[in-house]
Amino acid sequence: MVGIVVVSHSASLAQGVRELAEQMVQGQVPLAVAGGIDDPEQPIGTDPMRVLAAIESVYGDDGVLVLMDLGSALLSAEMALEFLPEDQQSNVKLCAAPLVEGTMAAAVQSMVGGSLAQVLAEAEGALAVKVEQLNLAPPTDREAAVETAVASSPTSIAESREISLEIRNKMGLHARPAANFVQTANKFQAEITVRKGEKTANAKSINQVATLGARQGETILVTAVGPDSAQAIEAIQKLAADNFGERETDTVPEKVVETAVPTEAKEGQLQGIAASPGIAIGPVLQYRPRLPAIVRETGKNGEGEWARLQTAVNTAVAELQTLQSQTAQQVGAEE
């Protein structure tokens, strides 16, 4: 199994990323961190020897993938790589993937038995999930690639199976259930795809399954093509019946909707009430308002406009002088 090393300037950040990954792989993947430096007054930084120790702690024949945050973390990882024996250096890869997303994807791919090259590829593609969710880029050719791979598989119609499954998890097919789904799919030789609406994904890729965004109450269509397709569908059906391995205590409890009662706001505080119950989840709509166009106008009679301004100024001065004189008469000049 491929080992994963997280390198960060912050020990807390590195440990936090590890904790997130452990939530998905539950101790099944060797994970190590190298965060911060041994300086109580200035603990932020990276130490090549800490990185080396982390690599050695998870090293195995399947290799090690190292993910870094930025700057000197890359340099420290490169130096640590040079300290390794030559026969081990080629079995350790430094990954340019985003630290958090890349670690999650790499850990899941390692858990399902992926090779070092597969784990690296999955990590480097992890950012696509966020990009698609935020509508920052047009859809990729993922669906076409998945369908082409299945269509080109040398199997017969008799070896194809499919099943429709309703997602019952309150948070949908999110991190841990998705990881369990991918892990189950990877146990079989069959080509397995999952479709939600018009989106199709490779069921053996955590990144692609995550892009589906399957929510509670939605239906997915799982298709398996291959000699063990029947067994694959049976296993996935059993997993879905078990809430994709998610315990009821892991799900979000139902909330009692209460009618909002207006209360008096404190001085200097703005306060409102809920307009509608529940939540809505969907792609982000980025609000980018356009500034109004400024129309520049030039006076046609400059001398006349200047004369009007002077008249207005003189009138204002005269009115102020009159007001000053009246005030002095009423309250006295000394006041």
Q: Which residues are catalytic?
A: 9
CA distance 146 to 144: 5
Q: Is 84 buried (19+), middle (13-18) or exposed (0-12) by CB count in 10 A?
A: middle
Strand order in the sheet with 64-68: 31-35, 3-8, 64-68, 92-95
Tell me the C-alpha distance between 317 and 311, whole Å: 10
**What six digits make up the tokens of 225?**
């093509």
What are 20's two structure tokens? 């997130």
End-to-end CA distance of the chain: 91
Evaluate the CA torsion angle 55, 57, 63, 64 in order and state its sign.
negative
Cα-to-chain-centroid distance, residue 331: 72
Provide the token pair at 294: 């400024």
